[in-house]
Amino acid sequence: MDFVNLIFDHFFEVIIFLFLFGGSIGAALRWIIRQSFGHRERMQAQRNEELRLKVQLEQLKTERLSLRQPPAPSDQSPKDASWDDHVQANYEMGYQQQQIHQQP
């Protein structure tokens, strides 16, 4: 209340003060506000970049894990012997059976 009375008691002095220094005070306030908004914008851009890099890192990790993991067993047919061994064994058995059947 005393402050309001002081302002009204010296009303003309306050008006002259604002007229003389109001522009520079307003400019200083605008500069402070602009700087704070600019700082917030830069910090948000930095956070966005950090999040983008984290997402990219996670994608690379999942790609590397998927490349390292062997394919599922249902994707491949099991192999018990190599093809050459299997063919050779059948050929020899068949040849022996033919000789046995032809002799009697």
In a domain, 97, yes or no: no
Residue 7 near residue 14, CB atoms below 8 Å: yes
Residue 78 pLDDT level (bands cut at 50, 70, 90): low
Distance separating alpha carbons of residues 43 and 73, to the nearest angstrom: 49
Q: What percent of the chain has a predicted confidence (pLDDT) above 90? A: 43
Is residue 50 in a domain? yes
Q: Which DSSP letter does residue 10 get?
A: T
Assigned domain for 98 exists: no
Task: Judge whether 44 lies within some domain.
Answer: yes
Give the pLDDT score at 16.
92
The predicted pLDDT at position 24 comes to: 92
- Residue 26's domain comprises 1-70
- Residue 95 domain flag: no
Kindly state whether residue 9 falls inside one of the protein's structural domains.
Answer: yes
Tell me, yes or no, whether 52 lies in a domain.
yes
Q: Report residue 28 as tokens.
A: 């200083």
Tally of domains in the chain: 1
Q: How far apart are CA 40 and CA 29, in angstroms?
A: 17
The predicted model scores a pTM of 0.46
Average pLDDT across the chain, whole number? 81
- 36-77 tens-digit pLDDT: 999 999 999 999 999 999 999 999 999 998 888 766 666 555
pLDDT at site 8: 86
* 47 within some domain: yes
